[in-house]
Chain A
């Protein structure tokens, strides 16, 4: 199994600022993803973090708003840029390993 940690666990940010969320996995994995869970909603896939190349974004999500880095097979960052209150969500990192999806504990973001 894969153990995933995220930093920060929560944050309160001002409108117009940016926040970078870190995701660390305890083993090397090929497939790493970022999801968002808005209040009272289910999870929505933001993008696939590709090691050594640009992330692949899902419909409705763009690189300028959610830049992603994946420098190696155990680490990724997601930046939420130019934040607005609508970005208040839980952001979750996940990895896909042998037909099992593992999720991090999430980063709870509140934008004022």
Chain B
């Protein structure tokens, strides 16, 4: 069956450092992969989308890589801030229709 795995353990880092979150998937060949941020009690907020033919994408302090051979995406937040503390979700689109399969999310805690 299709499976998406994110590190279930919370990631604790010091302010100013780079946070790196991992998303691995199996039995799937997605057209693209997306990353979302979710704060407690709120709906997910779209951050970045990367296509299967793209290796890397950047947006301000965010960087996403996509390795279709390893079936892995890495999500980086550089110069992290306490305001970056949240749960980050990885999601795959099964058929370019907006129907997403989500990972369980990784909680990031940035300490001042």
Q: Is B41 touching A108 in the complex (CB atoms < 8 A)?
A: yes
Chain B residues with CB under 8 Å of A45's CB are 99-101
Residue interface bits B41-60, CB-to-A below 8 A is 1, else 0: 11111100100000000000
Q: Which residues of B contact A (CB under 8 A)?
A: 32, 34, 36, 41-46, 49, 89, 91, 97-105
Partner of B46, one of A41, A100, A105: A100
Q: Is A103 touching B45 in the complex (CB atoms < 8 A)?
A: yes
Residue tally, chain A, CB below 8 Å to B: 23
Q: Is B46 touching A31 in the complex (CB atoms < 8 A)?
A: no
User: Interface on chain A toward B: helix, strand, loop, or mixed SS?
Assistant: strand
Confirm or deny: A88 has a beta carbon within 8 angstroms of a beta carbon on chain B.
Answer: no
- With both chains docked as a complex, state the minimum distance between the C-beta of B96 and any C-beta of chain A, in angstroms: 9
Confirm or deny: A96 has a beta carbon within 8 angstroms of a beta carbon on chain B.
Answer: yes
Q: Is A96 touching B98 in the complex (CB atoms < 8 A)?
A: yes
Closest to A106 in B: B43
- With both chains docked as a complex, state the minimum distance between the C-beta of B91 and any C-beta of chain A, in angstroms: 8
Confirm or deny: A48 has a beta carbon within 8 angstroms of a beta carbon on chain B.
Answer: yes
